[in-house]
Amino acid sequence: MTFSIPKDFLWGGAVAAHQLEGAWQAGGKGVSLADVMTAGANGIPRQITAEVEPDKFYPNHEAIDFYHHYKADLKLFAEMGFKCFRTSIAWTRIFPLGDEQEPNEAGLRFYDDLFAECHKYGIEPVITLSHFEIPNHLIRKYGGWRDRRLIDFFVHFATVVFKRYRKQVKYWMTFNEINNQTNYKEQFLLATDSGLVLDADDPQSEALMYQAAHYELVASALAVKVGRQINPDFKLGCMLNVSPLYPATCKPADAFQALKAMQRRYWFADVQTLGKYPRHMEAFFKANGLRADITLEDRIVLEEGTVDYLGFSYYNSLTVAAQSDNPEYHFVGPEAAVANSYLATSDWGWPIDPLGLRYSLNWLADHYHKPLMIVENGLGARDEIAADGQIHDDYRIAYLRAHIQAMKTAIEKDGVEVIGYTPWGCIDLVSAGTGQMSKRYGFIYVDRDDQGNGSLARMKKDSFYWYQKVIKSNGQDLS
């Protein structure tokens, strides 16, 4: 047993198809949820329109046009020394509507070429099957994941791409941040996870979320089973958003609230790694009359389709306080969260907490006993081009340095098994939450603004050279 970053550690970067590819209609691509999301801003939610409306601006339509720039972009990733590149396959390039039998050959060819280009540089693709880009047709015709038929559509999509990229892709994840929907009062989170487009105060939203989540979990498990048959060497993972929940004080009621909120946010990982619903969720469903359509057959599938590794995003921790008027209130939403006076926040109000990453790694290792991959981490910040024409993003370097250090300590001192680290938005892209370009995460700057103006030219930031050094030294040189 060694307690250091392994030699074959997967250093890389992460993106999602809809946030960077653009070319939203190229090669017969269909309309996805991301194509009907308008631009929001800091604190202003994105609107979801039923169809594409001609007078509205949809930032993902063009994004950073990776579809036509991927060769040059991958060359830059290779220059940084990437060992892997996490992206998603846009479901609507392969199945424009989502419920067809025959896949779209032009869409499949795009990813043949993309993955071939990755391998040209020895970069291992790490692929998410569903990253907030469900076909819009599946939302409009079936109401999203509330309909059991989506399981078949998704598994068919998974089967087609598993077969097609059997030799090019080894690392897969089924659903991005499947647990975001726990916060079912936020329309954006429900829609992006489950294609449920509901009003925030819809009385059915909680029940529908649990139903939709269950169908997604069954679909995920079935995909894992199919993937294993297609190529036993595949590494099939799940993907969660992890923000550890701290109690606001050492008052037992606050600590208990934090514990219950953790249960309520992370039970998805119990299902995906251990193969069954935890007893606290079964009890919760019963107590709240939330018995969903969960068949015995589903339960067998869940047991048989557990994942090989657990991928997760980590940006920040959250802090919660007990609700004195209702001790059984464990919903994890903004109203239960309180500010943490020990932590600074980003310009978008996200707490900055590197130790929270070490905490999360320990917590996940203790609970799930699977190899872990940090598939998103980063700082959304505004970048300015300085007088010397460069971008001196020392704030981004400071954030990443502290988080990589926290990961290293978890590996070295806590014995946590981590197989990869792919910071989010390794090239500037459209923010999922706000639709902005100005919320930048990249090592590579892209000339495009929030209104869609700009040359799309790429430019290396200071963090580009810093990360290059980190990878070259296998995480030893963080200076």
Q: Does residue 431 belong to the site contacting ligand BG6 (CB under 6 A)? A: yes
Angle value at C-alpha 251, between 247 and 253, nearest 5 degrees = 75
Q: Do the Cβ atoms of 57 and 437 come closer than 8 Å?
A: no
Structure token pair of residue 389: 């024409």
Which CB, 88 or 257, lies closer to ligand BG6? Answer: 88
Which CB, 247 or 378, lies closer to ligand BG6? Answer: 378
Catalytic residues: 177, 376
Tell the smallest beta-carbon distance from residue 420 to ligand BG6 (Å): 16
CA distance 368 to 273: 6
Of 123-152, which residues contact ligand BG6 (CB under 6 A)?
Answer: 132
CA distance 328 to 389: 55
Binding mask 240-279 for ligand BG6 (x = CB under 6 A): -x--------------------------------------
Which CB, 183 or 257, lies closer to ligand BG6? Answer: 183
Give residue 102's identity as a one-letter amino acid code. E
Of 335-394, which residues contact ligand BG6 (CB under 6 A)?
Answer: 376, 380
76-84, 182-190, 216-224, 431-439 -> range binding ligand BG6 (CB under 6 A): 431-439
Tell the smallest beta-carbon distance from residue 360 to ligand BG6 (Å): 15
Binding mask 282-321 for ligand BG6 (x = CB under 6 A): -------------------------------x--------
Q: Does residue 432 belong to the site contacting ligand BG6 (CB under 6 A)? A: yes
- The count of chain residues that interact with ligand BG6, using the rule CB under 6 A, is 15
Which CB, 230 or 381, lies closer to ligand BG6? Answer: 381
Binding mask 12-41 for ligand BG6 (x = CB under 6 A): ----x--x----------------------
How deeply is 279 buried, as exposed, middle or buried, from its count of CB atoms within 10 A (0-12, 13-18, 19+)? exposed
Q: Do the Cβ atoms of 48 and 191 come closer than 8 Å?
A: yes
Binding residues for ligand BG6 (CB under 6 A): 16, 19, 132, 176-177, 241, 313, 376, 380, 424, 431-434, 439
